[in-house]
Amino acid sequence: MATINAQVTVGSDISSSALTINKTMTLKKAGNTAGLDFTTGLAKRSFVNTNQVDLLTAGTGIAADVTADKSAKVYIKNVGTDSSTYFIIGKGNASTGASETTIDSSGTAYYRIGRLYGQDWMLIPWDAASTTGDITIQASTASAAAPMHVEYIVFYE
């Protein structure tokens, strides 16, 4: 049985009371105590423009196996070190994602999740159902001379 663990440690002195959070979880199959079986492997992608695109497309490739009744987790990291540039991460169809929440004429929704600045990362659950399950990405600034880079991996059953 596979075991994939994720750990997050947060420490802060932002207020008079110190904050410390240290959480670990084992990535498990839906409704099960068994661990997730599969991974896409760590992928890296470079962006040379600011077009919004699907980073992961629901219903194709491994996403064909990731459905609402299965468990999947997605890790994404902006590997750049520039704190002024970022990737906008969203959920839905990339062609609709002009604003934070958009529903096009066919009823396809897009929701902006947030920004990943240099060295920021995220780990989120993924329901890869139809085009509403696509994970989108858009570089804040990128060119052939100065591309932006991201790495990502999907853990799934």
The number of angstroms, rounded, from the C-alpha of 23 to the middle of its chain's C-alpha atoms is 19
In whole angstroms, give the CA distance from residue 93 to residue 111.
9
For residue 6, what pLDDT band results from cuts at 50, 70 and 90?
A: very high
Give per-residue pLDDT as tens, 31-56.
888 999 888 889 999 999 999 888 98
Give the burial class of 140: count Cβ atoms within 10 A of its Cβ; 0-12 exposed, 13-18 middle, 19 or more buried: middle
Report pTM: 0.87
Q: What is the pLDDT of residue 87?
A: 97
- Rounded Cα distance between 24 and 103, Å, is 36
Structure-token match 């059953």, residue found: 157
Arithmetic mean of pLDDT, 56-76:
79
State yes or no: pLDDT of 131 exceeds 60: no
Q: How far apart are CA 78 and CA 122, in angstroms?
A: 9
Token pair, residue 133, equals 């399950």
The CATH number of 38-156 is: 2.60.120.10
How confident is the model over 89-111, as a mean pLDDT? Answer: 68
All structural domains of the chain with their residue ranges: 38-156
pLDDT in the model for residue 137: 94
